[in-house]
Amino acid sequence: MARQQERRTIHVDGEWREAISGATRDIIDPAVARPFAVVAEGDEKDTDLAVEAARRAFDEGDWPRTPVAERAALLRRVADLLVRDREELGALESRDAGKTLEEGRVDIDCVADAFRYFADLVAAEAPGRVVDAGSPDIHSVVVHEPVGVCALITPWNYPLLQASWKVAPALAAGNTFVVKPSEITPLTTVALIDLLAEAGLPSGVANIVTGPGHSVGARLAEHPDVDLVSFTGGLVSGTKVAQAAAPSVKKVALELGGKNPNVVFADACTTDEGFDTAVDQALNAAFIHSGQVCSAGARLIVEESLRDRFVAELARRAAKIRLGRGTDEGVECGPLVSAQQRAKVEAYVASALEEGAILRTGGKRPEGLGAGYFYEPTVLDACHREMRVVREEVFGPVLTVETFRTEDEAVALANDTEYGLAGAVWTADAGRARRVAGRLRHGTVWINDFHPYLPQAEWGGFGKSGVGRELGPAGLAEYRESKHVYQNLAPKPVRWFAG
């Protein structure tokens, strides 16, 4: 783990190295706005070497032909190593991304769960699907093979968790890969490469290039020797990845965020316990990790008769959220990841107020927290669909409030977005819960809850939230090609041509 302080953070064909150019990048602790680590700043040349190593390991190495049971065993060893290093990795994730220490620890638990899930999934599979060809003389089977060299491009908000959603199924399927973590938060992904080697993964199977998206990410997306690119990040960058990948017709999986509705019906809040739970979960939906979550419930859509009471209590509790460095005792919410991200959030809040939103709490930098990139949890009331803050992904601690009167209106508001990643409905009416969940055009729908996910359930979105799925059986299928093998057991002439 000492490697986190070094400049040799590019890993190619089993060796750690500096960038060919010698360039480096400081990694900033967002709670204090100061560097605490230095990493290599790779570019296209480093990327080409990494892809070459992954290509060679796939075409000539043993990993794609390693028995499934052995691949599964390696993934389980990785999970055990993650548990062993939970405290160290959790603290590193907290410091790098700015989240609380407890969030960092939970992230590592979820990473271990992902590796175990995909190990169990491949180990339990049948070797192929027999197809009934209608004749005893024909043996027909569909088998699954690794897609090849995978480019894995991950975001800055959940660095190791999002990496695991790609690395674990890619390895389970027998692929080789090059991973490019966010240049802002690369440290735990660098640490993961060491753990993979410790678990016994052959050289060249796992490669990492630390560096920016405009060089490393762009080269991975366009590289002719890459067979699949899996990207998690913003819509603009994801569109560029798809465009770069198109000429080589490689497989593409994109998870591009969301603008996620949290719909609260008044009947969910007729008791004190129901009201308290719905408010508490609305806070969790919007402000976990300072709102820097692709599935954040940033749009509160509340029934009009409940609105005044609900928003008042929501704002009161939001104002009491304890901000600070994630590793400090009692802190509930950390900083934004960078000065640039905070400036973006500030611009969205300013535009909302200009467009008529009412500030109920927050809306400014807190006092007394030094130079860190902190921003107060913010509640904006009286919002409507024409506002930028309602339409676009803010990725910060900003919650907008809209109201509805009827079930149809609630569904229409919730679906009135170009995204479609996740959403929730709160109601005591079981029939309404099923109806609304069925009508919401979002990849994950929670009923009377927000944010939980299961590694065995697919994750992904409709619309501009992306294409493809992570997790679940479909998440493994992304990293495979299906092959139909048709065997004639009694071949004879067809006599199609008389001569």
Residue 254: both structure tokens together: 């994109």
Greatest distance between any 2 Cα atoms in the chain: 93
Judge whether 396 and 290 are in contact, CB under 8 Å. yes
What is the edge-to-edge ordering of all strands in the sheet holding 138-146?
Answer: 129-131, 138-146, 480-488
Distance (Å, rounded) from C-alpha 34 to C-alpha 29? Answer: 6
**What are the beta bridge partners of residue 27?**
37
State the amino acid at position 116 in one-letter form.
R
Q: At what angle do helices 159-173 and 101-123 cross, to 10 degrees?
A: 10
What are the C-alpha distances in Å from 273 to residues 11, 155, 269, 284? 52, 37, 8, 16
Judge whether 216 and 40 are in contact, CB under 8 Å. no
Distance (Å, rounded) from C-alpha 178 to C-alpha 170? Answer: 11
What are the C-alpha distances in Å from 443 to residues 127, 132, 286? 30, 33, 18
Of 41, 103, 255, 393, the catalytic one is 255
Known catalytic residue at 255: yes
Helix H or strand E encompassing 375 = none
Q: At what angle do helices 68-84 and 101-123 cross, to 10 degrees?
A: 160
Q: Which residues are catalytic?
A: 255
